[in-house]
């Protein structure tokens, strides 16, 4: 769980200068996205509000070398070390299930109708570490809106590519391949939910889930499924990979919650990767003012 090799290099030396200069741009766009989201239902002031756009970005070097992507192996350095084995392009995304316009889309056609945005989000791993990452992507709501969910659609299931020839981790039964994840339809339609195509202003590196991965910033990192080939709308709640493996440890919702501990460790605090000090974990990872209403009346201890 801890970063093996502490990083002694100041982030100003790791991050290319052009990206440093672009930081203002990321902050500006991130802030705009948050304003749009907050304008929808909501309570504008909440004590757990903490704007990721104002926090120091996790250096690019760490974002791309300290990864969880078990398709390459279980060690944090496996994905970046073996990333070159994977050839994501060309890529096809299938949208099916309870939609009016199902189809197989070449990645370019899938992305074409949408406007790509840059947004800074915190990512909080269930292993009690976190990062602050400038993502690039399209709102999932726009994609689902075009596909036209049927009235009976209530959930969305996502599937990662299954390609053991290029993903050495998939040659071992570490997880039940392919990796799958799920969201309730209203979570999937929430304006914070992003289908990421890049980070730090460039296309996604393979180790971060090229060419298309999910980002749900108020949930533990494992919900942010990588290298997605299929998006299926369903009536029943889909199972997800970690819940299938350890149902007492991982649930469907996986909302970041400092008050509900993992059975084997506390979730009250987290280590920001690249730092030593631990900081308190925020309810819904700090996005509570925008998402807490989705869970009104739900017992978050039971539905963890
Ligand atoms: N297909 C797939 N998606 C995945 C994982 C994985 O092993 N396989 N790991 C998850 C976990 S536990 C985390 S914390 C994030 C890490 O994303 P990052 O490496 O871009 O920081 O990816 C998530 N998505
Ligand atoms: Mo994670």
171-217 confidence digits (pLDDT tens):
999 999 999 999 999 999 999 999 999 999 999 999 999 999 999 99
pLDDT value of residue 53: 83
- Is residue 93's pLDDT more than 80? yes
This prediction has a pTM of: 0.86
φ/ψ (deg, to 5) at 75:
-80, 150
CA-to-CA separations, 295 to 86, 183, 220, in angstroms, rounded: 38, 13, 16
CA dist., res. 158 & res. 148, Å (int): 17
Pairwise CA distance, residues 290 & 129, whole Å: 22
Tell me how far the alpha carbon of residue 226 lies from the centroid of ligand 1, in angstroms: 6
Q: Which domains does the chain have, with CATH numbers?
A: 13-295 (3.90.420.10)
Provide the sign of the torsion angle of the four alpha carbons 67, 269, 58, 187, taken in this order. Answer: positive
pLDDT single digits (tens) 105-117: 999 999 999 999 9
CA of 151 to the centre of ligand 2 (A): 33
Query: What's the pLDDT tens digit per position in 16-52?
Result: 434 433 443 444 344 344 333 333 333 333 344 568 8
Q: Which atom of ligand 1 is nearest the CA belonging to 63?
A: 21
Q: What does the alpha-carbon distance between residue 100 and residue 106 come to, in Å, rounded to a whole number?
A: 19
Residue to substitute in 69, 70, 267 for testing ligand 1 pocket (most ligand atoms within 8 angstroms of CB): 69
- What residues have a C-beta under 5 A from ligand 2, the ion? 68, 125-126, 221-222
Give the distance (Å) from ligand 1 centre to CA of residue 214. 10
Backbone angles phi and psi of 186, in degrees to 5: -70, -30
pLDDT tier, 12 (very low <50, low <70, confident <90, very high otherwise): very low
Q: Say if residues 240 and 181 touch (Cβ distance below 8 Å).
A: yes
């Amino acid at each position: 769980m801890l970063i093996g090799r502490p990083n002694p290099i100041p982030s100003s030396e790791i991050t290319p200068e052009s990206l440093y200069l672009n930081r203002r741009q990321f902050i500006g766009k991130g802030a705009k996205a948050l304003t749009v989201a907050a304008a929808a239902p909501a309570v504008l002031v909440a004590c757990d509000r903490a704007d990721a756009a104002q926090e120091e970005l996790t250096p690019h070097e760490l974002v791309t070398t300290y990864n969880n992507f078990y398709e390459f192996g279980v060690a944090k350095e496996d994905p970046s070390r073996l990333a070159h084995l994977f050839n994501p392009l060309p890529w096809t995304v299938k949208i099916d299930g309870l939609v009016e316009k199902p189809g197989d889309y070449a990645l370019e056609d899938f992305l074409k109708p949408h406007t790509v945005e840059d947004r800074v989000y915190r990512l909080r791993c269930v292993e009690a570490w976190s990062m602050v990452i400038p993502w690039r992507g399209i709102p999932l709501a726009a994609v689902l809106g075009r596909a036209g969910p049927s009235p009976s659609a209530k959930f969305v299931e996502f599937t990662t590519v299954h390609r053991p020839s290029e993903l050495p981790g998939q040659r071992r039964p570490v997880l039940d391949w392919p990796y799958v994840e799920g969201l309730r339809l209203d979570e999937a339609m929430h304006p914070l939910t992003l289908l990421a195509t890049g980070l730090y202003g460039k296309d996604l590196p393979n180790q971060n889930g090229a060419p298309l991965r999910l980002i749900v910033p108020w949930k533990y990192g494992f919900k942010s499924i990588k290298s997605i080939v299929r998006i299926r709308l369903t009536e029943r709640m889909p199972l997800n990979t970690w819940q299938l493996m350890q149902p007492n440890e991982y649930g469907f919702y996986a909302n970041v919650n400092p008050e509900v501990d993992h059975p084997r460790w506390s979730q009250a605090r987290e280590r920001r990767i690249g730092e030593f000090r631990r900081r308190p974990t925020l309810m819904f990872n700090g996005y509570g003012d925008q998402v807490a209403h989705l869970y009104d009346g739900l017992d978050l201890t039971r539905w963890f």
